[in-house]
Chain A
């Protein structure tokens, strides 16, 4: 099952917090698509997910300002 989360309107620390809480609700093997802004969220959200043992399957720009990343729990 694939979930989706848009954190482009969030600022630190809620960018990380929302991703962490969403992943906590999901079962192992489920995927989460996260739409995030360049800069701090793009640099740190994928990294912190990997540090927690989740797989970042893809990381693609959607336009000049945003990226879509796909995380597997």
Chain B
């Protein structure tokens, strides 16, 4: 087997914590990794919610404000649809429709991303603001990095902002 060494690279900035945008990010990421690209996903701000170990609503952090923000935002199971969210009902309906049409659901895409060894990193600054610790996040988070490290790692990559 002759595996080409010059792998193409893609870095995805997962800024939005919206359900549909997270589906798009993980779809591109897994599709890219499965077609032999080296993929990094950098989660910042609202995107951090997708990485929380507790997928529901947990008041994490030390300050009252951080606890309130984290509780209200919740985790992967609480990501809102960017339009027509209807108080959280729509993501569940959308997941049902995805299953009906044999389209991978968000948890399936996340699992595929882990199986494909996609590099997952979290934004140090956003974690500090929201008082989220590395231990609060899923074990697949490989590193907590700042923007300089992310840019260095993404040299010669296509960078996609979602």
Measuring CB to CB, which residues of chain A are less than 8 angstroms from any residue of chain B?
A: 9-14, 16-17, 19-21, 28, 44, 48, 51-54, 73
Contacts and interface: CB of A to CB of B under 8 A. Distances in A.
A16 B112 CA distance: 11
Given A20-B116, A21-B115, A21-B116, A48 B102 contact: no
A51 B116 contact: no
B4 A13 contact: no
A11 B102 contact: yes
Interface of B: 1-4, 27-28, 30-31, 33-36, 101-104, 108-109, 112, 115-116
B33 A52 contact: no
Contacts of A19: 34
A51 B102 contact: no
Shortest beta-carbon contacts, A-B, top 10:
A13-B31, A16-B34, A53-B3, A20-B34, A48-B35, A53-B2, A17-B34, A52-B36, A13-B30, A17-B112
A16 B35 contact: yes
A17 B3 contact: no
A17 B30 contact: yes
18 contacts: A10-B102, A11-B104, A13-B27, A13-B30, A13-B109, A14-B104, A14-B112, A16-B35, A17-B30, A17-B33, A19-B34, A20-B34, A20-B35, A21-B34, A48-B34, A48-B35, A53-B1, A54-B1
Nearest to B2: A53
- Residue among A9, A12, A28 with the most chain B CB within 10 A? A12
Given A20-B116, A21-B115, A13 B34 contact: yes
Contacts of B3: 52-53
Contacts of A11: 101-104
Contacts of B101: 11
Contact of A9 (B36, B102, B112): B102
Contact of A51 (B28, B30, B35, B108): B35
